[in-house]
């Protein structure tokens, strides 16, 4: 809770306590009005101020004016306590909505960690750390292991494994060497690289992605708040009706005081607190219920849009898959055990920091003794050789086996295949791949049961994408996409949507931030997702479980159903009471019921959104 919200909470509590205490103070008339004005102004001075500024600025009929007219009318009728209560409850609703949104929404610029802070430029044989903006095309920069590549360029010295998942969504690191192009925003995972810069920072991949986020955010339409649109017509209508009721009938029938009393009663009845409180509370209840299920929704408008979603677009790596590489299959040669194959390959890779090497070591359940290994020699783009227990071991890709003239059995499995040989004899292959999340298939099935079309857009290879998509049962698959390609695909899908239908995009990486912003609803993975993706998204799955998406849709539909019930109930009762009040059939008691009573019933109905929605079987 920020400072402004804490101040609002203190004002609400202080006004409520004062209002309750004044019920026991035995005063009447002007002294009573003066006393009640204190909690009324404590709770609602900002509403009155905004209403005044709106009138002065020519924007009269907004939510603040509606609340000001309603509460001032209540005070004028002598219903001082009610006037204070209406303002206090209204402020509670506003605080709830503000807290729900403000808790998670921060500036994109503060969280966008894709932008490198510095670049190591090589000048006269010395390494100098400078701002990336100061590096010119043709300069040589040095990228150390673990550092993010600051600018686009060409590798002129060194080789390494490059983690491009933040930009392209590729599940496996990309081997890079002399002559290869390198793009900014990637992470150098192993070797030292010297890179000749080919693009200035303003034209680099990093800058383009930042621009995509900003421009996509501008394109994303936001539905106007229902209450404000409702007040645009409702407020002038009821105010004009009250004025006519106070002036026109007395011109013909006399009884000015009676008709003024009816007009003021009319204003009290017209107070829309049942709507201005219950609707935000309904959304807040839905947001709270979703939060308890591990689904962070950044505002009621996103919860509302989710109920109209008919297409869900997924990223692959880190969204439908874990984004963590592991041994998925071992294929030992005849006469070689699975344990022997894994141990030999893991020992040979024991000194390597490559993700494939870590995967091999993690697959071995017994401790590995590094003293058993020596004479390790890495061969860029191929693999490595090492002496393990006085036996020469080769571990790497098919090119390594060919270069060493080792006969091997090719493996056509989906994923990265690591071949192993010992003393020139092939001993088997190990398949390493990203693992599909166990709940991903259930998520797709439940979305399909709700009539939702599913699409997968990924930067990964076509073969890997098709294999994952077929395993999960996804309707449409597009692979080998860069961030801009994903945005273009989502743009095309948005154009094909019917009116009022919404599209949601689910992703986790920096490369997903632009398309998360462009989609009607952006959903990010919160556990492993990047800060930029989480900030750009409208909904965050805190436990990275894709099965929470259909659950979120059920929560949103329940919330919208309750909101519509409250709108129909509040407007129906108020319409009846307004008609009866204008005819003099009902008095202040009916006005209080139409105001406070309807508000209480609507809030109780809104509280149903707090009840958990059971996950589908």
Where do the H-state alpha helices sit in 271-386? 273-292, 300-307, 338-348, 355-363
**What are the beta bridge partners of residue 502?**
309
Where do the H-state alpha helices sit in 386-544? 398-403, 440-449, 462-472, 483-495, 513-518, 531-536
**What are the beta bridge partners of residue 154?**
181, 196
Distance CA 460, CA 163 (A): 12
SS3 at position 513: helix
Site of tokens 């206090």: 88
Site of tokens 């390597």: 352
Does 315 qualify as catalytic in the annotation? yes
DSSP state of 581: H
CA distances from 199 to 177, 195, 202, 519 (A): 19, 12, 8, 30
**What are the beta bridge partners of residue 325?**
434
**What are the beta bridge partners of residue 425?**
422
* Residue of 62, 152, 315, 460 marked active site: 315
Distance CA 511, CA 483 (A): 5
Q: Hey, what are 421's tokens?
A: 């040989």
Q: In sequence order, what are the residues at sequence separation of 6 or more whose Cβ sits closer than 8 angstroms to the Cβ of residue 116?
A: 132, 147, 148, 149, 150, 184, 185, 206
Strands of the sheet with 391-396, listed across from one edge:
321-332, 425-436, 416-422, 391-396, 383-388, 373-379
- Helix 548-582 vs helix 273-292: crossing angle, to nearest 10: 170
Cα–Cα nearest to 150, from 112, 110, 188, 107: 188
Distance CA 605, CA 49 (A): 31
Distance CA 521, CA 553 (A): 12
Q: What are the catalytic residues? A: 315
């Amino acid at each position: 809770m920020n400072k402004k919200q804490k101040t609002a909470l203190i004002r609400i509590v202080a006004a409520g306590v004062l209002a309750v205490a004044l019920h026991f103070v035995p005063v009447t008339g002007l002294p009573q009005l003066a006393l009640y004005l204190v909690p009324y102004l404590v709770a609602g001075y900002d509403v009155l101020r905004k209403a005044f500024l709106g009138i002065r600025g020519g924007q009269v009929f907004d939510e603040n004016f509606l609340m000001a007219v309603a509460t001032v009318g209540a005070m004028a009728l002598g219903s001082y306590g009610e006037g204070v209560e209406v303002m206090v409850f209204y402020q509670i609703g506003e605080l709830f909505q503000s807290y729900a949104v403000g808790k998670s929404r921060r500036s994109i610029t503060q969280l966008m960690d894709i932008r490198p802070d510095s670049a190591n430029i090589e000048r006269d044989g010395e390494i100098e750390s400078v701002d990336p903006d100061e590096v010119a095309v043709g300069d040589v920069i040095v990228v150390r292991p673990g550092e993010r590549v600051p600018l686009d360029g060409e590798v002129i010295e060194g080789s390494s494994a490059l983690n491009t998942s933040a930009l392209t969504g590729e599940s496996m690191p990309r081997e890079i060497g002399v002559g290869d192009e390198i793009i900014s925003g990637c992470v150098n995972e192993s070797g030292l690289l010297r890179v000749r810069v080919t693009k200035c920072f303003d034209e680099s991949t990093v800058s383009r992605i930042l621009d995509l986020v900003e421009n996509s955010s501008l394109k994303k339409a936001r539905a106007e708040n229902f209450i404000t649109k409702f007040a645009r017509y409702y407020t002038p209508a009821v105010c004009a009706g009250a004025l006519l009721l106070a002036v026109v009938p007395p011109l013909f029938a006399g009884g000015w005081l009676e008709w003024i009393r009816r007009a003021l009663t009319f204003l009290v009845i017209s107070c829309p607190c049942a709507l201005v409180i219950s609707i935000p509370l309904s959304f807040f209840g839905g947001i709270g219920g979703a939060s308890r299920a591990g689904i962070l929704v950044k505002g009621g408008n996103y919860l509302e849009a989710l109920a109209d979603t008919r297409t869900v677009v997924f990223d692959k790596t880190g969204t439908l898959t874990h984004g963590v590489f592991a041994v998925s299959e071992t294929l030992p040669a005849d006469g070689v055990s699975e344990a022997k194959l894994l141990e030999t390959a893991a020992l040979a890779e024991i000194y390597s920091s490559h993700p494939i090497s870590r995967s091999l070591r993690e697959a071995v359940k017994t401790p590995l003794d590094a003293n058993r290994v020596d004479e390790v020699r890495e061969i860029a783009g191929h693999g490595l050789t090492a002496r393990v227990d006085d036996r020469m071991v080769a571990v790497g890709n098919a090119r390594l086996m060919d270069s060493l003239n080792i006969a091997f059995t090719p493996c056509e499995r989906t994923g990265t295949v690591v071949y192993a040989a010992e003393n020139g004899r092939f001993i088997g292959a190990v398949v390493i791949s990203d693992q599909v999340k166990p709940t991903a298939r259930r998520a797709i099935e439940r979305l399909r049961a709700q009539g939702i079309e599913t699409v997968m857009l990924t930067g990964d290879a076509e073969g890997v994408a098709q294999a994952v998509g077929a395993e999960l049962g996804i309707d449409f698959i597009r692979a080998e996409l860069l961030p801009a390609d994903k945005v273009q695909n989502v743009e095309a899908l948005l154009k094909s949507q019917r009116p009022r239908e919404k599209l949601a995009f689910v992703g986790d990486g920096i490369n997903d931030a632009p398309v998360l912003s462009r989609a009607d609803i952006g959903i990010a993975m919160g556990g492993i997702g990047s800060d930029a993706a989480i900030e750009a998204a409208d909904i965050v799955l805190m436990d990275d479980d894709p099965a929470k998406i259909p659950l979120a849709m059920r929560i949103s539909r329940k919330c919208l159903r309750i909101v519509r019930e409250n709108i129909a109930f509040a407007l129906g009762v108020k319409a009846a009471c307004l008609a009866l009040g204008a005819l003099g059939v009902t008095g202040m008691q009916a006005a209080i019921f139409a105001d406070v009573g309807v508000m209480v019933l609507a809030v109780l109905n809104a509280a149903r959104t707090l009840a958990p929605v059971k996950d589908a079987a």
